[in-house]
Every structure is written in structure tokens, then in C-alpha cells.
Chains A and B, each alone.
Chain A
Amino acid sequence: MYNRIRKLPIFTHSHRILIGVFMLMAIVALAACGSDDPTAVPAQPTAVPASSSTDTSGPTTTTATTPSTAELHGGSPDIFLKGFEDAAADSSFRATSKFAAAAKPLAAGEKLKVGFIFVGSQKDLGYNQAAAEGSQYLEKAFPDIEVLRSENIPETADVQAVEEQMIRDGATIIFATSYGYSGPTKAIIEKHPDVMFLHMGDVESFENYSSFFGNIWQLEYAAGQLAGHTSKTGKLGFIAAFPIPQTLLNVNAFHLGAQSVNPDIKTTFVLTSSWCDPAKQATAVQAMVEAGVDVLTQHQDCTKTIVEAAERAGIYVSGYHQDASPAAPNAWLTGAAWNWGPVYSEIVAEIRQGTYKSSVMFQGLDAGWVKLSPFGSFLSDEVKQSILDTVEKLRSGNFQPFTGPITDQDGVIQIADGVVPTDAQLQGTGYLLQGITGRTN
């Protein structure tokens, strides 16, 4: 044995080379050791992307005032233009802003760069399209804003690469629009204290990392009510991606809405483990149809496959994220959709004024963050009116469908009798209601 080892060519011929390799390894390891010392690598100052040579008192500077919420949701971006021109070049308040870069006045001809990162295609007829359209609204609302967009960025550390590049290019506000961007984004916020990161759907915030999401469950409740009216088999289907709180809240709301008109209704909840996997979506629809489901809805990013598959299968479908009614004239009931444009514009306006406070914010119908998609043409006026009434009740804030008692799948009371849950409680939903088949993990 020893002889065989001794005769190995590596020992007989190449010991010098091996020694060389080991020496190299040692040198590299030493270098690594040296640089591992935190004091040896001083933190690099972050470049301030917005022009720092700007004369703050110059006549060319502009700033924006924040229109009221009511003004914002009038639907026209023009109000921002007006606010822009009217604004006085008062820079005193900017000293208080923690993320000063975006609040700095711009030089003439200079643009404020706002980055948007999407997990899927901007034309997915769903979540990313809704967000992309919001970014277009923002661009129209502020003529001196340039929007940087990156699509199909996976929810891994890859998103950091895009964020770093956007910041290098001068972006001072970055909207990370997908849920899974939260972890990788939070890992780099300290490195860029000048940049404001806005995440959609996280449940925590930091000084320059804020989170917001719409209470779209309100419209899921209304859509569920319509599904309850429409279903003949009493079986609803919900195709989701991951069992995260906002998804569980949506399916609970949908089921609760349906239950309000049909107490015996059953909802089947399945997961595809992907925000957009048309093959899995089609399989899920097939399985649902075979199980007797006759109204489908979803929490996917791309919605087209499921909407079209429902049309083909001759069942009904309720939309999500975007109005996809043209894709399914005979199957489309209604849908819960986003209205991100005014939301983005409001946030950006506040950041520029230096009045924005980092927070975890949830807003719903009353603030106009979400909207109901058009009804299917075959629905009766009576049913349509009852749904609109529900939406109005939800908007007014006098009606909270999740008022206890709310019982989960295992019969545990999650919200006690008579208790009205807060937004934060709802957005932390970790259970499925009684009557829903499926699992939360």
C-alpha cells in the first residue's frame, strides 16, 4: 500500500508544482485573513446619486407638494404637474429627511431616477403588469422622474445585483415589487443609507426600507360573494403560489364572502410553488375541474393561463391583479385589481418633500389602492348591485367581515367573538378557515 502511494505520479514528478500550489493557497488565505479584519476594509462612502452640485436656492430648482389623498385618487396625473409648478423652492424641511438623496432639488434638465424591479414579465396580465402600469403613471405624474425598470429578476440575491446597478446609475428610490425580494433587499439597505427602498408586502420597516401593500382581501371578499352566488356545485377553487400571510388572507376572505351567501360552500386551496408557472397552473385547473369546482380564482402573478383554461373548461373565473375579462367573455365574473399608480406617486411625492416616514402600511378601498374589475356581461343587475353594495360597505369602513368568531380548519378560534381584527393582525394570517381544503405549509 505504502509503495503504491509512493509511486503515485504526483509524488514522483510534481511535488514542486504541488508545493507551488500550496504556497499560492497560503498567500491567498493570508490575504483573506488580512482583509477579514473589519478595520482593514473601511466602509466605502456611498455615492450620492442625485447631483450634489445643485444650487439649492437657484431659480431652476423644483419640488413637489403632496396633493391630498382625495385629489390623488381622482385618477389624473395632471394634478402632480400642477403641484409641481406651484411649489415654492423651500428647502428648509429637507434637513430632516433621513434619505436625503431623493429629496434634493434637481438641476435643470436633471431627472430623479426611480427603480422598479419585477419578478416576472411586465406584460403578464397580472401582478407585474399592474405594478408596471403604476410605474408608468408615476412617470407621467412627475415629468422630472425617470423610471428604471427591470423584469424577470428572480427572488434570490440576484435582486441585489440589479439594485446595486440601479443605484450606480443614480436611482435614489427603489421599488422592490415582489414579496421574496424582502430578505435580499434588507441585506443591503445599510450599505445605501441615502437610498429609499420600498418593498411591497413585507411586515417590517427600517429607516430607509419601507413596506406597503393593499388590502385587496376586501375585494376578494366581494368576489367571493359573487362566486357564492354563481356556484352551482358549491365548490370553489383557489390556486395560489406560496402559503404566505397575504395569500392566506385572500383565500380566507374569498371563502368568507362565498360563505356569506352559501353557508355550505367548500373552497379547495392548492399551491403551485411558483409565482408564474403556466404548466402547473393548467394542471391545477384540470384537477379542480375534475373535483367539481365551478368557480376558480387565484393568487398567481400571471393570470392568463388560468382565466383561459376556465373559459375552455366551461366554468367561472374570478380575476386577480388585473382586468382580464376580454380573455374569458363567458367565464369572467369580476376580479380584485390594483390601482398602484396613485399610491406610488403619493409615496414618491412625500419622499421628495422629506415628509415620508418609513412604515408598514396597508390601505384598502377607502384610500383607492384597490379596485373592482368589470363584471361579466351575463350577470344579472340584481347580483351586480348586491356586490357593489358590499364593496361600498367595505369602503365605508363600517363592515369588517373578519369580525369574530373566526374559526380555522382545526376548529381553533383565531379571532374571538365580537373582536374586530386590526390590519396588522389580518396581514399576519397564518391559518385557513373552516370549509377550506388545503394546507398552510
Chain B
Amino acid sequence: MTTPISLNQARGVAITLTDRPIVRSLMAVAFAFIVFGIFIAIIGRDPFEVYAKMFEGTLGSKVGLSEVGVRMIPFVLTALAASIPARVGLINVGGEGQLYIGAWAATGVALYVDFPTIWLMLPAMAFAGFLGGAVWAGFAIALRHFRNVNEVISTLLSNYVAILFVNVFVFGAWKNPTGFGYPYTANFEVESILPAIADTRLHFGLVLPVIGIIATYLFLSRTRWGANMRAVGGNPDAARRRGIPVLRYLIIAMLVGGGLAGLAGMSEVSGIQHHLRPGISNSLGFMGFLASWMANHNPVAIIGTCFLIAVIVVGGDVLQFSGNLPSAAMLILIGLVLFSILGFRRFERKTE
């Protein structure tokens, strides 16, 4: 993907190191960690010790690293679900709901289709998950086209509908008959489970975000479709006059985005949960949305922001018991990072 150049660059003014987006983002993250460190010091803990424990529990051990990977899989997919529509100027806040529908569709296949091997079962579940997420996102784009409903509103609200829709099945027809009244489906057969990697919780759903990122990057930066999408996102009227079928791009971007979120749902039920139950997502869709905005919707930068959020989320688990910090501390740190990245970005624009 071509990096958009700043006005200064266009004018031929030398760009300093601190003008580079990656340097700015790192500065923003460092700033957020310093501010959070001050908070930690104020409540009477040693910030260096807390950070040391946090990094030991995330990057300094096999368990920690694998847990970061476990979180990154759905984060990257739901971040792509926000970033691809953003390329054509659509804002998809519905990653959470699309993830649930994807998980629901994949579970349906796992429970009611009986392929003999993992090589048929998992692709079928992935296809169902993708389709589920895409259809759910399709409602939003249809509403936008036919009823002029803003997709921000429709995708946001459809999250709640999706969760309730899934609950209808989990509390009803799909409830595990041997589950003592607890709302979850029967456990998947081994053919429907993404195998774990090397005795950790990390699973081969890892393949999905890797392919997703590479394919999205190549598609957006190296194909005419990708260039057209940028044109549609920049100025739909101009794109239309140039003969670009704007509506088709809007639909495809939204459906692919929703589908990727659906894949995240599939990988969660198949790789992690091994059955469907309420609350499987724990805000994965919203975290992905956040990661996409922090990365300015750049599919490569998404890797970095998702990694950061995953480290904070996993680190939050560790800090609860080893740093004796409340569970909300992690959310505070994520919020600080978000605001600081957005703040630094605004500063960047002003200097242009």
C-alpha cells in the first residue's frame, strides 16, 4: 500500500524521524504506559514491578506468548472487519454481532453436519461462519441502500440483536440435554475442533488472521480493485463519475468485513470454547474495532495494535493476581493507549 504523504513531504520539506507514523504511535504508547505507571504509583504500587510482572506474564513465558496469540486471532479478524469497510468509507461497528452470528453458524454445522474428517468439517464450519457474518453485515448495507439508514447505527444495534438471536438457540433448541440446565450447547466432536498447537491454548485458527492480513494487504495495495476502493472511500461521487460501480464496492467491502468477523466467531467456538454459550466474545468485536481505529485502518498496522491490545488484555489477567490490581485496570490502560494514539495523531495533522 502506498503510504499517504504529508503536505510537508509534498512540499519537499525533509521529514524528521518523529513524523513517521510508526514512531509517533510508539511515542503515544510509551506516553500511555508512563501515565498509567503514575496511576499505579499513586495507588501505592511499584510501577516497575507491575510492568515487569505484566511482561513476564505476556511476552516472557510460553504460556504468556501463547495467550497473546490466542487473543490476537479474533482481534485481528474483527479489526479487519472494521478496516476493510473503512476503506470504502463505511464504519462497521458490528464486529461483535457478526462474530456471534459466525459462531452460531459454525456451531450449527458442528452440531448437525456429520463429516467424517477434520479436513471437511473445519472448512465447512469456516465457510458457514464467514457466510453468517457476511449475511449479518449484509442487513446493514441493505438498510443503508434501501432505507438510507446509517450503517453506524444499524451495525451497532444489530450487535445486541445478534447476541439475543444466539441466546434463543443456546437457551432453547441447542441447549445441551446433559448440561443440568446450564445454557451451552453440547461439546463439539473432535472433528469440529481446531487442533491446539504444542500443548498450549493457541490453535490452528491462527491461519485465518495470517491469510486475512496478507490477502487484504495484497488486495488493497496491488490490485485495481483496491485502488478503486480507496477512490470510493475518498470521494464516492468522483468515483462514480469515473465509472466505478460504487454500490458494488460498498456491498463487497461490508460483506467481506462481516465475513471475517464471522470467521473470528468460528475460530473462537472451534478453537477455544468447543461449544457455544452466551458471552463467548467478551467484547472481542469492539476491541477489534478499537484496534482498527488505532491503526488508522491500515491492515498491516493492525497487527501492531492488535498485539498491543492482546498484551494489555492478557497482562490484565496477570496483574489481577500478581500485581493485585483490579480487573478494570486493563480497560483503563487500553483507554489511555487509545486516547494517546488519537491525540498524537491529531498533533501530527496540525503540524502538516
Using a CB–CB cutoff of 8 Å, the interface residues on chain A facing chain B are 9-10, 13-14, 17, 20-21, 24-25, 28-29, 32, 35-36, 41, 43-44, 115, 148-158, 160-162, 164-169, 179-180, 183-184, 187, 191, 203, 242-245, 248, 273, 430, 440-441
Contacts and interface: CB of A to CB of B under 8 A. Distances in A.
B290 to A, nearest CB: 18
A441 B57 contact: no
B201 A44 contact: no
B182 A273 contact: no
Closest 8 CB pairs of A and B: A148-B321, A9-B224, A243-B181, A44-B199, A152-B327, A168-B63, A150-B320, A157-B272
Contacts of A243: 181
17 contacts: A9-B225, A14-B222, A17-B222, A21-B218, A32-B207, A41-B199, A44-B199, A150-B321, A154-B282, A156-B273, A156-B280, A161-B201, A161-B314, A165-B63, A165-B318, A166-B321, A244-B181
Given A149-B320, A165-B57, A165-B64, A244 B180 contact: yes
B223 A17 contact: yes
B321 A115 contact: yes
Given A9-B223, A36-B195, A156-B277, A179 B207 contact: no
A32 B204 contact: yes
Looking at B171, B187, B201, the one whose CB has the most chain A CB atoms below 10 A away is B201
Contacts of B314: 161, 165
B184 A183 contact: yes
B317 interface: yes
Contacts of A29: 207
Interface in B310-326: 314, 317-318, 320-322, 324, 326
Nearest to B272: A157
A430 to B, nearest CB: 7
B175 interface: yes
A164 B181 contact: no
Given A14-B223, A156-B282, A164-B63, A169 B318 contact: yes
B211 interface: yes
B70 interface: yes
B334 to A, nearest CB: 15
Contact of B61 (A151, A162, A168, A244): A168
A156 B279 contact: yes
B215 interface: yes
Contacts of A183: 184, 187, 275
A161 B214 contact: no
Nearest to A202: B180
Given A9-B225, A156-B280, A169-B322, A242 B183 contact: yes
Interface of B: 57, 61-64, 67, 70, 118, 167, 171, 175, 180-184, 187, 195, 197-199, 201, 204, 207, 210-211, 214-215, 218, 222-225, 272-275, 277-280, 282, 314, 317-318, 320-322, 324, 326-327
Given A35-B197, A149-B324, A166-B321, 5 more contacts: A155-B279, A156-B279, A156-B282, A157-B273, A183-B184
Contacts of A184: 273
A115 B317 CA distance: 13
A187 B324 CA distance: 27
A352 B204 CA distance: 38
A10 B321 contact: no
Nearest to A41: B198
Contacts of A180: 182
B327 A10 contact: no
Given A161-B314, A164-B201, A168-B63, A10 B320 contact: no
Given A9-B224, A168-B64, A187-B274, A17 B218 contact: yes
Looking at B183, B211, B272, B321, the one whose CB has the most chain A CB atoms below 10 A away is B321
Contact of A169 (B57, B67, B118, B215): B57
A21 B198 contact: no
A162 B183 contact: no
B201 A440 contact: no
Contacts of A44: 62, 198-199
B215 A21 contact: yes
B325 to A, nearest CB: 11
B199 A43 contact: yes
Nearest to B208: A28
B197 A273 contact: no
A43 B199 CA distance: 6
A158 B278 CA distance: 13
A180 B277 CA distance: 10
Contacts of A441: 175, 181
A10 B225 contact: yes
A158 B285 CA distance: 16
B84 to A, nearest CB: 16
B223 A24 contact: no
A165 B314 CA distance: 9
A44 B197 CA distance: 11
A245 B222 contact: no
A21 B217 CA distance: 11
B63 A150 contact: no
A151 B218 contact: no
Contacts of A24: 210-211, 214
Contacts of A17: 218, 222-223
A110 B301 CA distance: 44
A165 B207 CA distance: 24
Contacts of B318: 165, 169
Nearest to B57: A165
A329 to B, nearest CB: 30
B282 A168 contact: no
A197 B326 CA distance: 24
Contact of B223 (A13, A43, A162): A13
A273 B57 contact: no
Contacts of B278: 273
A74 B72 CA distance: 50
B201 A160 contact: yes
Contacts of A115: 321
Contacts of B63: 164-165, 167-168
A20 B181 contact: no
A29 B206 CA distance: 11
Nearest to B207: A28
Nearest to B222: A17
Nearest to A191: B199
B322 A20 contact: no
B181 A150 contact: no
Contact of B183 (A148, A158, A273): A273
